[in-house]
Amino acid sequence: MFALDGIRVLDLSHYIAGPHCSLLLADHGAEVIKLEPLSGEPSRHAQPVYDGQSLYFTSMNRNKKSLAIDLKRPEARPVVDQLVSTADLVVTNYSKGVPERLHFDYDRISKINPRIIMVQVTGFGLTGHMSDLSAFDGIIQALSGISYLTGERDGPPLKAGAYIADHAAGLHGALGALLALQHRERTGVGQLVDVSMLDSIVAMLAYEPARAHVGMEPARSGNRSANVFATTFRTRDGYVYIAALSERMWTGLAEEVGTAELADPRYLSAARRVEDYDSLEKAITAWTTQHSSDEIVARLQARGVPTGKVSSIDDLLASDQLADRDMLPHVRHGDGHVPMPGRVAHMSAEVPLVPARAPGLGADTMGILTSCGFETDEIDALAASGVVSVPASAYAASVGAAGPPRGGQPSGPRSSGIGDWA
């Protein structure tokens, strides 16, 4: 069994923050139904593309179902209303105001289903003077102070190498969904969960706001930790990160390096080590450049000094540790399989996860609508009028006869991508 067996999620989201939220729920057993424009959610067409499909889309949408529907059409409202009546959760990361325009806002859907929970992830939240603004990950990193703190001391601010704002917001969205489910278990009613990408990143700053408030202005410090001796060192074949935080760790490092400078008893003081960062870093680099990264990690870890190799993505693919924890399971993509990040929370009562491929556009439209009580002729009429799209294969599987795709692009000009809904 899975922790979220029996939970139905309507996923009206795009790109990363919303899809990541619903992906976390899907990975623990929730039935996630991705509602997409007839042209597909924009990331279906995003780079990088491999074997004819977007790796970006696959990474965020495995273990989900797809229902292709034009939410701008009035005829779509009864379909969405019926879905809402059967669902536990709605996840969206469209900008403030879009749910209202498309008639799936919380005020409306909670009247249809008082137990419904809606997780709404936006750049700045639903309140505050910036709440009407749109944003993407890099903008949030810049506004949050993360970029200001990232980079070399005399260099420009930098963004992180991953979409940390999107993923943090998705993670907080999933946490909010679980908290709301627990609240509903006690009270019987749903609620709106308002998650801001900016809040999600500011929450990572820990003590930095307090430090600035009392006049200890934070500054960029490159790879160095600002308060303890921990930084990156070049090796014979790459880089390692060494953290000599405590007196015991420093002693182990000094003994392994074996120089008189590091053995100076003054450096048993953490403050003195930070004060003399430059000279100590130079002395340690003279040693690390003589050895391979793997050798340094083994020797320092044996002395109780936390040390790690700076890994490439290829290194991760070959990692025994990640393989032992099934952290990069292979997901069906195109005609083959590709590794994707897997579940982080390993729960002893859950069965192992066999990840399903990301769904084809509208692949589950017929099955989902049938499960909600729509008759085949009703679905066919919706498809014929361009409200929903049903691939030929899905139609054949449901009615036992092959035929052309039902629905697709209605007559008249249409925009594509994000403009379809937003």
Report yes or no on 362 lying in a domain.
Answer: yes
pLDDT over 80 at 412, yes or no: no
Say whether both 179 and 92 belong to one domain: yes
Structural domain span for residue 258 = 239-309
Report yes or no on 3 lying in a domain.
Answer: no
Say whether both 302 and 344 belong to one domain: no
Say whether both 197 and 131 belong to one domain: yes
Q: 193, 163, 178, 202: which is closest to 16 by C-alpha?
A: 163
Last-in-domain residue among 263, 285, 309: 309
Report yes or no on 216 lying in a domain.
Answer: no
pLDDT over 60 at 347, yes or no: yes
Selected catalytic residue, list 11, 70, 88, 166: 166
Q: 280, 284, 311, 322: which is closest to 300 by C-alpha?
A: 284
Say whether both 35 and 162 belong to one domain: yes
H runs (alpha helix) in 37-130? 55-61, 77-86, 98-101, 106-112
β-strand pairing of 229-234 with 239-244: antiparallel
| H/E segment holding residue 283 | helix 277-288
pLDDT over 70 at 214, yes or no: yes
How far is residue 81 CA from its own chain's centroid? 28
Which residues are bridge partners to 195 per DSSP? 121
**Residue 379 structure tokens:** 């679905």
Report yes or no on 316 lying in a domain.
Answer: no
Report yes or no on 229 lying in a domain.
Answer: no
pLDDT confidence of residue 385: 96
pLDDT tens readout for residues 348-402 = 999 988 899 999 999 999 999 999 999 999 999 999 999 999 997 765 555 554 4
pLDDT tens readout for residues 24-69 = 999 999 999 999 999 999 999 999 999 999 999 999 999 999 999 9
The region, left, alpha or beta by phi > 0 then psi within -120 to 50, assigned to residue 393 is alpha
Task: Judge whether 88 counts as a catalytic residue.
Answer: no
pLDDT over 80 at 327, yes or no: yes
Which residues are bridge partners to 337 per DSSP? 332
Report yes or no on 212 lying in a domain.
Answer: no
pLDDT confidence of residue 396: 56
With cut-offs at 50, 70 and 90, classify the pLDDT of residue 219.
confident
pLDDT confidence of residue 337: 96
Backbone angles phi, psi at 46, to 5 degrees: -85, 150
CA distance 89 to 281: 52
Q: 37, 11, 68, 57: which is closest to 395 by C-alpha?
A: 68
Least confident window among 85-99, 191-205, 408-422: 408-422
Rg of the Cα atoms in the chain: 26
Cβ(308)–Cβ(243) under 8 Å? no
With cut-offs at 50, 70 and 90, classify the pLDDT of residue 315.
very high
CA distance 369 to 246: 61
Q: How many CB atoms lie within 10 A of CB 392?
A: 12
Q: Which amino acid is at 395?
A: Y
Q: What is the DSSP string of 235-282?
A: -SSSEEEEEE-SHHHHHHHHHHH--HHHH-GGGGSHHHHHHTHHHHHH
pLDDT over 70 at 418, yes or no: no
Report yes or no on 192 lying in a domain.
Answer: yes
pLDDT over 60 at 406, yes or no: no
Split into its structural domains, the chain has a count of 2
Report yes or no on 340 lying in a domain.
Answer: yes
Say whether both 43 and 147 belong to one domain: yes
Say whether both 333 and 301 belong to one domain: no
Question: Across residues 14-29, what is the average pLDDT?
Answer: 98
The region, left, alpha or beta by phi > 0 then psi within -120 to 50, assigned to residue 407 is left
pLDDT tens readout for residues 112-152 = 999 999 999 999 999 999 999 999 999 999 999 999 999 99
Query: Under 8 Å CB-to-CB from 266, ≥6 apart: which residues?
Result: 272
